[in-house]
Structure 1
Amino acid sequence: MSDRIKPEQITFDLPNRPAMGREDFLEAPSNALALAAIESPAGLPAGIMVLTGPRGSGKTHLAHVWAQQSDAQWLDAATLPEDLPYILASDARAFVIDDAHLVSGAQGQEALFHLINHLRNKGSLLLTARQPVRDWGLTLPDLISRLSAAAHVALAEPDETLLAAVLVKLFNDRQLRVQPALITYLLGRMERSLAVAGDLVARLDAQALKLGRPVTRALAQELLAKEFGSDGDDLQDLDIPPE
C-alpha cells in the first residue's frame, strides 16, 4: 500500500467573539486608573473622557463595560457626519466612539464638535483612541479646545501577570484549553503587548485547525520556527496589521 499524504484540514474564517462583560475584564495595575474612571459612581468627569492606549490594550473592552452600565450607544467615527442628525433627534444621552482618532476631515470634526456641544451638561461621551488627542491631526480649533479640556486616561503596558491572564482568556474565548507550559513558553518569547498576544493566539488557533492538532507548546515551537526561523526569540517582530 502506497504512502498517502494526509490532507490538511480545511479551515473557515469564522468570527471570534471575545467576551466583553465586566466579569471578563482582567484587572491589573496597568489598567486600574482607567477602570476606576469608567466605574466611578459620579460618571465621566464633565461628561466626556478620552481613553488612550495601544492596539489590544483593553480600550474597547472598557468601553463595552461603560456602555453596558450607562446604556450607551456605539457610534462609528467614519460615518459620524451622516449619523449626526439622527443622533441629535434621539433621546439617547450616552455614546461611545471607538477609535475616535479616525474622525477626519472638516465634516467629521464639525460633527464631533456638535455632538460634544449637544451632550454638554446633559449627557456623556466616551472616546477611545490609540494616540493622544494632539496626535489625531485635528484642525478645528473649537474641537481641539473641547477635547483638550476633557479627562484623559491612558492604559499602561501590561505586566507579565496580566499578559499571562490575557493569553489564557484569549484561548478561552476560542474554546481552547491550553497547558500552563504553553503560556510560560510564549511569555518568555513575546513582546509585552496585548496586541501581539491576540495576534499570536489567532495564528496558533488557525494552525491547529489547519493541521487538526491541539494547541500545544510543540505546535507553538513549530509555528515560530516556521515564521521566524528560530524558536521564537524574534517574536517581538510579529507583523501586526494596523488598527
Structure 2
Amino acid sequence: MKQLPLDLQLPEPFGFDDFLIGPNLEAFLALKALADGVPGEGCVYLWGAHGTGKSHLLRATVLRALAGGLYARYWDAAETPLDELAHGYELLAVDHVDGLDDAGQVALFGLINAQREAGRVIVTAGSRPPAQLALREDLTTRLGWGLVFEIGEPADEDKATLLRHRARARGCEVDEAVCRWLVTHQSRDLGDLTRLLDRLDRAALAAGRPLTLPLVRETLRSGPGE
C-alpha cells in the first residue's frame, strides 16, 4: 500500500541566514547594514543572471528591516505595476526593474528621487548593469547613482550543501550525493531545485522508500508531478 504524503512544505526561506553568500559578500554586508538602519548609501542596484539570488537578497533586506521596526516593502514590478502606493517607505525594494513599461519607468524615476531627497533607502534589481538596460537614459543614470553590485552564482558544491540544509529544514533527509547530482544535472536555480526536492520527497513518502539517487531518476523519468 502506498503511503499518502502530507503537504507539510515550509515556505521558501528568504532571510539573510538562508542566503548562500558565495562571491557576494560585499553586497550581502551592504544590504544587511541598510536593513539594520545603519547610515550609508541609500540607493543600491543589484544585477545578475536569473537564479543568482537577487530577489532573495531584496526580500531578506525587507524582512530584516521590518523586524527592526522600519516601514519597509518588497515590490515585484513584474507582478504589480508601480504606483503612488510605493511612496513613503523607509526602505523600499523594487524587483525586476528591467521589465518596466513607460509608466513604470516614470514611476521608478520619481521614486528614486523621492527616496534620496527624504534620506530613505531604495534597493532595486535587474538582469543587466544599469547602462545596458533597455530603459530611459535618465532612469539608468539614476539606477547607477549609488552602489551597484553584480550578484554572482555560487559554486556547485556550495549549492549542494545549501540544498541539503534546506531539505533537512523541511524534515527531508537526503543523501549528499543526491543533492550534488541534482545541482549538476537539473536546474542551477536554487529555488527551482528546492521545489524539485519537495516533489521528490513526496514521491519517496508515497513509495515508502528513502530518497536515493535511483528513486530520483525513476521519479524524473516518470514526468512532472502534480
Mark yes or no: TM-score above 0.5.
Answer: yes
Structure 1 alignment gaps of length 5 or more = 1-5, 228-238
Shift of 1:15: 6.9
**Structure 2 stretches lacking a partner, 5+ long:** none
In the TM superposition, what whole-angstrom CA distance separates every residue of 1:67-102 from its partner, at most 9, and x where no partner exists? Answer: 233332122414344x31x343x4x22101122223
- Matched residue of 2:80: which SS? helix
Question: Does structure 1 residue 130 correspond to structure 2 residue 123?
Answer: no
Please state how far the C-alpha of 1:157 moved relative to its aligned partner.
1.8
Residues of 2 paired with 1:202 and 1:135: CA distance? Answer: 37
CA displacement, residues 163-194 of structure 1 (integer Å, 9 cap, x when unaligned):
12221133235331212332344355456553
Q: Distance in 2 between matches of 1:102 and 1:216?
A: 40
- Which of 105, 109, 122 is the equivalent residue of 2:105? 109
Residue 48 of structure 1 and its aligned partner are, at CA, apart by: 1.0
Which whole-Å deviations, capped at 9, do the CAs of 1:91-114 have from their partners, x for residues lacking one?
A: x2210112222322x211111111
The answer to whether structure 1 residue 221 and structure 2 residue 214 are counterparts is no
Shift of 1:141: 2.9
Partner of 1:20: 14
Residues paired across the two proteins, number: 214
Query: What's the counterpart of residue 51 of structure 1?
Result: 46
Alignment correspondent of 2:57: 62
Is structure 2 residue 112 aligned with structure 1 residue 96?
no
Q: Write the distance in 1 (CA, Å) between the matches of 2:210 and 2:132.
A: 43
Change in Cα spacing, 1:98 to 1:205, as seen in structure 2 (3 Å) is farther
Q: Is the 8 A contact 2:28 2:57 kept in 1?
A: yes
Q: 1:176 aligns to what SS in structure 2?
A: coil
Cα separation, 2, equivalents of 1:173 and 1:130: 30
1:115-166 deviation digits (Å, cap 9, x = unpaired): 111111411111122333345421x332122113332111212113311222
Percent identity among equivalent residues?
28
* Preserved CA contact (<8 Å) 1:163 1:193: no
Instruction: Provide the C-alpha distance between the structure 2 equivalents of 1:111 and 1:15, rounded to a whole number of angstroms.
Output: 37
Matches for 1:84-233 after TM superposition, within 5 Å? 84=84, 86-88=85-87, 90=88, 92-104=89-101, 106-121=102-117, 122-138=119-135, 140-187=136-183, 189-190=185-186, 193-194=189-190, 197-198=193-194, 200-208=196-204, 211=207, 213-226=209-222
RMSD over aligned CA atoms reads: 3.2
Q: For 1:156, what is the secondary structure of its paired residue?
A: coil
User: 1:79 is aligned with what amino acid?
Assistant: T
- C-alpha distance in 1, partners of 2:189/2:19? 16
- For the pair shown, the structure with the greater C-alpha radius of gyration is 1
- Alignment partner of 1:36 is 2:29: yes
Q: Secondary structure at the match of 2:123?
A: strand
The 3-state SS of whatever aligns with 2:122 is strand
For residues 186-242 of structure 1, give each alpha carbon's deviation from its aligned partner in whole angstroms, at most 9, with x where no partner exists: 355456553553354244235335545442222112234556xxxxxxxxxxx9xxx
Taking the aligned partners of 2:125 and 2:113, their CA distance within structure 1 comes to 18
